[in-house]
Amino acid sequence: MYGLYTAQFSELPLEGISGLGNGSTFRVHYEGDRIESYEYSWPDLKVHVTVMPAQELAVHLRGFKGYIASTCRKLGVLLPKGLFERIDATRLVLGFYAEPNMDVEGRAEGILGPIAYNTKSLIFHADAVFDENSQQVFPPLSDTPQSPSNLN
């Protein structure tokens, strides 16, 4: 599972994402008038992109920041400069997962990568945060412990 956090959009442009997933069947799932998820299907793979409801965003972002602050204290590292500001600016959170798993052919990554890059998303995966270029920003890659008293 991946989480994508973007300040660029409050809703993904259908014309931009419907063309991803070469050879897939693209579907949009609605809950009332709200887009609940996007789905890319091949006979052997389904890629789901879920959309967090706007009313859940503030609580989720507070929890995400709490997780990061707690992890910084536990690891004895400083909060990466600008990370909380990027999280606070988030207007859209997407969940991303593939069934049965990410594929070796890279079809799932061929959807995740362009969405993350074009929306300038932070990507949360495997207890780490990456920028839109897939560069790890949290936890910091430095092996040098820092004073927990300096943490935000």
Binned at pLDDT 50, 70 and 90, residue 9 comes out as: confident
Cα–Cα distance measured from residue 18 to residue 137, given in angstroms and rounded to the nearest whole number? 29
Q: How much is the pTM?
A: 0.86
Binned at pLDDT 50, 70 and 90, residue 142 comes out as: low
pLDDT at 149: 34
Name which of 39, 142, 138, 58 is nearest 98 in CA terms.
Answer: 39
pLDDT at 104: 86
What are the tens digits of pLDDT across the range 14-60? 888 888 888 899 999 999 999 999 999 999 999 999 999 999 999 99
Name which of 114, 62, 109 is nearest 88 in CA terms.
Answer: 62
Phi, psi of 39 (to 5 degrees): -135, 135
What are the tens digits of pLDDT across the range 102-136? 888 888 988 899 999 999 999 999 999 999 999 99
- Check whether 66 has a pLDDT greater than 50: yes
- Check whether 94 has a pLDDT greater than 60: yes
- Check whether 152 has a pLDDT greater than 50: no
- Residue scoring higher pLDDT (79 or 151): 79
